[in-house]
Each structure stands twice: as structure tokens, then as C-alpha cells.
Structure 1
Amino acid sequence: MSLYKFAKSVVAALLFPLYRIQVLGKENVPKSGPVIICTNHISNLDPPVVGITSPRDISFMAKGELFDKPVLGRLLVGIRAFPVKRGLSDRNALRRGLEILANGETLGLFPEGTRSKTGELGKPLSGVGFFALRSNATVIPCAIIGPYKPGKKLKVVYGEPLNMEAYRAAKASAKDTSEAIMAEIGNLIEKHKSQPASLDK
């Protein structure tokens, strides 16, 4: 068993019962081909939560300074993370992200670039739009609906694939594309945040 699979099973065993995680829309994630999963960011636990609920293995960007710590750095590499400087303007990180997508794998991104301390959606950075426009990846919006409180239900909702072809054909800016993706994440949150559990499927 790979380190990624082992870590995923351990974290899932801990977090699913602790936060009563409910996952919706996993069928919207393609089984093959390049995929970008774009998620709102409300907690430091978001990456592992998306990692354990996604039907596909995900490569996430992580703060570059974390890789400077020998043990943690090796662990992050083992679970498919790669370093990025803040702001998603790191050329090496951008190149690595495109390589992941060119290999038909899954890239996980938090468009806001940093955690929202209020839980409200922040403004997206242009990086997610860059990846969406510069690749042929399927873009999946994902909403984490909290808060993270032990015993309280946490929802993770994977939305339907977004049609990026119109943006690519129109040579839309990375900024505009990022904002469109963020708007879809917001729509998922609004749709599911107050929906009774009995109506969720």
C-alpha cells in the first residue's frame, strides 16, 4: 500500500466519525482524464477532508516553507503534495500543476489561496483560472459546508463539471475565469447549507 493510500485510510477513520462527514456528488468527478477540484477554504483540515472524500487521488499545493522541514517535507511529497510560494505566482509550481494535469491526474486547488477566517467566500486568485485555461482538465467545483465541530455534520459537495470551453474559446482572462469558478462554489454553498439532511442524497 502506498503512503498516500495508507494516510487516506487513517485520516478517513479519524475524521469521518468525528465530523459526521456527508459527501454529495462524488459521481460528478470523472473517473479518468485530467481534473481540477476547486474548493472553498474554511479550515486547515480542508485538504485532508477533500482528500478522503474525493474518489480520485489528489495532488495539492502546499506552502513552500513546510517542505523545509525534513520529516514533514518527505511526508508531504509522499502524499503527492508539492510546494508553492504564496500567491500562486511560483513558476515552478505552475509548471508542476500543468504536468500533473497533462498526465491525466487530479489537481486540488483552493481558489482563495488562503483560509477564510470568517467562513465567508473570499476573492479568488488568478491561479485557478490559469490552470483551467491552460489545460484541458475538467473543472469540478467543491463546497465544504461547516463549521468543523465534533459531532456536528460537515458536508462536502462535489458539483457538476463546469463548461470551460467557452472561456477558452473566448480567451477569457485568468481573473475572470477564477471568479466564474468561485461563483459556482458559492452557488453550491447556498444550495446546500440549509438543506435538511433528510433531503440530501
Structure 2
Amino acid sequence: MTEERLEARVLAIWQTRRARWVYRALRVVVKAVVRSYLRVEMVGAERLAVEGPFIIAPVHRSNLDGPLVNSRCPRIVRSLAKREMFPGRVGTWISAMLGAFPVNRGAGDRRSLQAAANLIGRGEPLLVFPEGSRQSGHRVGEIFGGTAFLAARSGVPILPVGIAGTEEAMPPGARFPRRVPISIVIAEPLPPPELEGGRLPSLQRNEFTARLREAMQVAMDEAVERASSMAG
């Protein structure tokens, strides 16, 4: 399936009532699991309760990261996901029902990123993992410039997010999460970089990407400290 056809199919699925019902039902399940089983603390949750579109930019250590952050946002949040998360008709249906949107991995597919920018243009919050694939440890890895491109093209702020504990709770290959302290810190929003003549020059993109990485690291450091305190 071509990229254009896949994106069109995902959008068509998402526009159905069933998709919205499944998304909301799954969010209720995640909230119930968090309350009854996981030990999760979130700082700055009020920054998710704002009107208008914005980009959520968490560190990525576990498959728990996206669901935990999204479950605390009072609005529906779309998420960028690697194309491999949309295998065949059934896989595409499941991922679309979860609010995911396909994008190629790596430095950034401009056509896919423009399609993602169109989602933001609809007024929807969008979750993007700037590190791309899952990383390990407490240091924020190299992040791609696609997040800066999205923010500049859409003119929306970015919320840097640090998450500690999810890697220990559900490492790669784990089927069920362990009950360990998890801390999520949502930092102050970063205003988007400004376009010049409709473009984002490489220098500005790199400078903003460095600022975003630094803000994510500060949030990560606080999350690690808080998770350690929770472990007592």
C-alpha cells in the first residue's frame, strides 16, 4: 500500500464513530489500570488541559509512555507512529483506532510530516517522540528535526515531557507491566520556531532542536529524581 493510500485509510477509519468509541473506551481502561495497579505521578498535567492544538514531545523508553501521557489529557490526542505499526488491514485498523498516524522513521519524511501538520491544523493535539524509536537510560538521545518542522509549519507550542520508570515497568519484550514508581513531568511549553519566507532554515531548526532536547533532559532529570523519591 502506498503512503498516500495508507494515510487516507487511517484518516477514514478515524472519522468513524466506532474509532472514537474504541479510543475513549481504551483510555478508560488505561486510567483504571493506572489507579488500581501502577504507581504513577504526573507533574504539570494542567498543561494538557488547554484549548487549541499543541505538540506533546515525550522521551521514549517504553510502550507505556504514549498511553500514560494521553490518558491524562482531557482531549483526544493523535500520535505519530512508525509505519511498521500498520501491518495489513487488521493492523492498520487497530493502530488507527488508537489514534495513531503513520510516518516514516529517520530524519523525517517531509510529505508524511506535512500530513501530520494537517492533523494539527484540524485543532488536534499531537504526540510525537522526538527520539524516534525507544531509547534506554536517563539521557535524552539524539532527536530528529521533524518535531521542529511540525511546530514551525503549524505555529503551535511543544510540551517537553520527561518520563522515568516506564523502562523498568515494561522493558522491550515484556508482556505485562511491573508495579514500579513512574514519574511523568510535563514542562513549560516551548514556542514554535519562526518560518522565514515559508521555510525553516537549517540553522534555526538545529538551534530549536537543541533547545527542545535540553528541555526534555531537564524534565527527564526531574522525573528521575521524583521516581527515586517515590521508591523511597
Q: Name the TM-score, length of structure 1 as normaliser.
A: 0.86
Q: Which residue of 2 aligns with 1:174?
A: 205
- Give the CA deviation at 1:141: 1.1
In the alignment, does 2:189 pair up with 1:161?
Answer: yes
For structure 2, the 5+ residue unaligned runs are: 1-19, 170-177
Using the TM superposition, name which of 58-67 and 140-149 deviates more: 140-149
Equivalent residues of 1:31, 1:56 under 8 A apart: no
For structure 1, the 5+ residue unaligned runs are: none
- Give the CA deviation at 1:169: 6.6
Q: Which residue of 2 aligns with 1:102?
A: 121
Classify 1:163/1:63 alpha carbon distance in 2 versus 1 (closer, same or farther; 3 Å): closer
In the alignment, does 2:230 pair up with 1:193?
Answer: no
CA-atom RMSD in angstroms: 2.1
Classify 1:30/1:176 alpha carbon distance in 2 versus 1 (closer, same or farther; 3 Å): farther
Q: Which residue of 2 aligns with 1:56?
A: 75
The one of the two structures with greater contact order (alpha-carbon pairs below 8 A, sep at least 6) is 1
- Give the CA deviation at 1:14: 2.4
Equivalent residues of 1:19, 1:148 under 8 A apart: no
Equivalent residues of 1:66, 1:72 under 8 A apart: yes
Distance 1:32 1:67 in 2: 30
- Partner-residue secondary structure (3-state), 1:173: helix
In the alignment, does 2:168 pair up with 1:140?
Answer: no
Q: Name the TM-score, length of structure 2 as normaliser.
A: 0.76
Q: Look up the equivalent residue of 1:63 and give its one-letter code.
A: K
Q: How many pairs align?
A: 195
Q: Give percent identity, aligned residues only.
A: 28
Classify 1:157/1:118 alpha carbon distance in 2 versus 1 (closer, same or farther; 3 Å): closer
- Give the CA deviation at 1:88: 5.2
User: After TM superposition, where is structure 1 displaced by more than 4 Å over at least 4 residues in a row?
Assistant: 169-172
